[in-house]
Structure formats: C-alpha cells, structure tokens
Amino acid sequence: MYFCLSVCVRPSVLLSVCLLVSVRPVCTSARLPATQIRNTHPECSIVLHLLEKEGECKLQMRNTKALSLSTPNNTTGCLVEWDGVSCWPAALNGESLSVSCPLLLLKPDSPPALITRNCTPQGWSKPSLPYYKACYFEDSSEEEEETGDKQNYFATVKIIYTVGYGVSLASLFIAILVFCIFRKLLCIRTSIHLNLFSTFILRGLAVFVKDAVLFADESMDHCTVSTVTCKAAVTFFQYCVLANFFWLLVEGLYLQTLLVFTFAQKRKLFWLYAGIGWGTPSVTIIIWTLLKSQFDNEGCWDNLDSALWWIIKTPILLSVFINFVVFVNISRIIIQKTKATDQNGSEGLQVYRRLARSTLLLIPLFGVHYVVFALLPEHVGVGARLSLELVLGSFQGFIVALLYCFLNGEVQNEIRKAMKGCRSQTENNVFNLATQDYVA
C-alpha cells in the first residue's frame, strides 16, 4: 500500500488537491510530457512536479538494476522505489532513510517534517508519517466550507444547463416536426429557421457528448489525459458552436436583407447563406484540427491559452460583433418604419410595444448577450460567465423554438385549420354512421 497524491481537476475552474491513501501510484498513468501539462492545465503544477520526479526515479531504478546485474555479490537490501510522491534510493538492510515533504505540497509557514522508512529483509517498511500529516495539508474549516460551496455551485449549474439543453432539444425537435408536417409553411425564411434549429440541436448534443467523454468518470486525471476520443469530442463541440454562431449571423443578415431590399433574389441568397452557415465553420475547424495535430497535439485540445485557440475564437467574435451591428441597424430600421406608419400621437405607445417585441425576438436570435464577455479573458468573471453562457445559453434553443414556431401566427393558423379539418371529418363520419343505421 502506498501513500499517493491524487490531483482531481473538475470542469474548467474547480481544482481540489487531495492527499489520499491508494493501493497504487495514481500518477504513474501519465503519458504526456511535462511541458505539455504545464501548457494545457497551468493549475496542474503538482502533477507536473511529480511526473518529473517519477522520471528521475525510474532512471535511478534502471541504473541500479544494471549495477546489480554487473555485480552479483551486491549486498543491497532494498532497491530504488517510487511511492507516488517521493523516490527512495537503494539502501542496505537495517539502514534508515528520510525524505521531506515536497515544497509544492508543503503548506506555507509550516515546519518541514521528515518521513522515515527502514530497509528490512522483507523490503521497505511503511512510512513513519503519512504524507498528509507531514505536509500539514489539512484544510481549515473555512477552506473546506468554501470548497464545498464551489462544488455545490458548479453541480447546480450543471444540473440547470443539463435541464436547459434537454428542454431545448425536445422543443426544437417538435418545432422541426411541425414545419415538416405543415409544408405550406416552408419557404426561405423557415428554411433558415430549420438550419438554425439544427445547430442548436447539434450544440446541445455536443455538450452532452463532451460531458460524457470528459467528465462522466470522476477518477479521470484531467491533467494528463490525451485520447483520440476526447479530442474528437472537443472538436465536434467546437464545430457545433461555430455553426450555431454563424447561423445566428445568417438570421440577422437575412432579416436585414428583407427590410432593406424588397426585391432580392432570395433563392440565390439562401445558398450563399448556407455556405456561410455550414461552410465557414467547416473550413475553420479543418484548419484548426490540422494545426492542432501538427503543432499543439496535447491534452484533449481544450487549452484556451493556446495561440491556436484564436483560429476558432476570431470567427466567433467577428460573427458576434457583426450581429451586434446588424441588431442595432435593424432596430433603427424598425423605429423608422413604425414612425412612418404613425399617423397620430395615440399610436406612440404601440410603436414602443412593437419595438420591444421585436427586440425581444432579436436578442435570443442573434446571441447579442455574448457580447458582454466576448473580449474578456476566459478566467475573468467565471461565475457570471457560467450563469450567462451556460444557463441562459442552454435555454436559448427553447426560446427560439417558442418564438419562431409555437408563438408564430402562421404556425398557429395551420394548426387551427388542421384541428378544424379533423373535427369536421370526425363529425361527418359520425353523421354517416348514423345515416347508415337509419337507412338500414
């Protein structure tokens, strides 16, 4: 049984360092170079330190084994051993060795304590002092309470955005089904809506896939994991996010086209918009994937501090700010058009109501709320960012489906017609059955 250090990194920001008693060295499964761990997860400096020390210890093991083979009469009783935290050099039977707590684990202002082990004929003895005592790493009650609050907060956020994406997926599937059933509703505008709905569905599915691959197994070492599966999950997620932003941009551009150009060739524009919505994310993600695999193939490709991250972030920022400009311009056009139809002062209130209604439609549609954190670093305002982007963003698909399908007047009229048709057909069938009985 060894006393080992386990570093557990939770999604994005939660880092808890736990000194645990384990039956195996948990850090021996690392496969990434130390410099890659530093770049991917800067908070994993402890794991980085242990990996470096483990490599040095394994080198000593090989040298000691080679020496023992070359000198058969070697009287060494205990070979070099790595216990997950410290490297114990070779020793003679009856000899005692001591090591101190690694500086990275030593709590500030704590006196250093020595950990001693004896070399016996049966091998190394148990440590005289556990690492969690030698390093004085017990958290105070305030620190434990703060860590517990953070864990509860992030767990609550995850539950909320899981429910949000679930509700959004269900409502979007129903909305797509409605448009497919009532084919009279299909036109360029609804086709753009359907593509937008599809990107929200893909984005929700990508979130669930990424959570299942990266965070379902709580024993996974996020400091060193680097698999094809996790890279594919992150790549798929990034593509879905890009497609979602660019179809939001297409919605804004198309609405502005309708307001500015009355006689536009809409079908040709649709293929242009399809190229923007699906083509631009595809080209971007292919370039990013090739560069990551060649020059930055580390971790699960979730390093937001990498320079290659700007290949994805720049198009997103451009789409967000272009959409923001379009949003402002459309709002200006709406005000002008509503004022032009305002014949008297009594309609002033209706102008503001229509403007407020239109703005309410545009905000979730164009993703303008993302402008708030567009240029801020990823580590700034983590709590507010999570609440705004994850919680509000998870329900965005539901809001779009609600506003552009379930509350759409055309959709409601078609549903009413279908219900009236079914009702009249049922009444006719009952009447025919009654007539047949009477004639019989």
The DSSP line for 136-160 is T-PPPHHHHHHHHHHHHHHHHHHHH
Residue 222 three-state SS: coil
pTM of this structure: 0.71
Q: pLDDT by residue (tens digit) across 191-218?
A: 999 999 999 999 999 999 998 888 777 6
- Say how far apart CA 318 and CA 67 lie, in whole Å: 63
Is the per-residue pLDDT at 410 higher than 60?
A: yes
Run of H or E residues at 337: helix 310-340
CA distances from residue 359 to 348, 355, 368 in whole angstroms, order as listed? 17, 6, 11
Lowest mean pLDDT among 19-23, 120-124, 195-199, 237-241: 19-23
- Say how far apart CA 373 and CA 377 lie, in whole Å: 8
- Say how far apart CA 285 and CA 43 lie, in whole Å: 27
Q: pLDDT by residue (tens digit) across 307-338?
A: 888 899 899 889 888 888 888 888 787 777 76
Q: How many CB atoms lie within 10 A of CB 375?
A: 11
Which whole number is the average pLDDT over 126-147?
Answer: 68
**pLDDT at residue number 30:** 35
Residue 124 three-state SS: strand
Q: How confident is the model at residue 28 (pLDDT cuts 50, 70, 90)?
A: very low
Residues 6+ apart with CB under 8 A from 247: 192, 195, 196, 199, 277
- Say how far apart CA 332 and CA 337 lie, in whole Å: 9
Q: pLDDT by residue (tens digit) across 142-189?
A: 656 666 777 788 888 888 999 999 999 999 999 999 999 988 888 888
Q: pLDDT by residue (tens digit) across 277-297?
A: 999 999 999 999 999 999 888
Residues 6+ apart with CB under 8 A from 206: 233, 236, 237, 239, 240, 241
Block residue for tokens 């008297």: 344
The phi and psi torsions of 22 (rounded to 5 degrees) equal -130, 160
Which whole number is the average pLDDT over 233-259?
Answer: 90
What one-letter code names the amino acid at 89? P
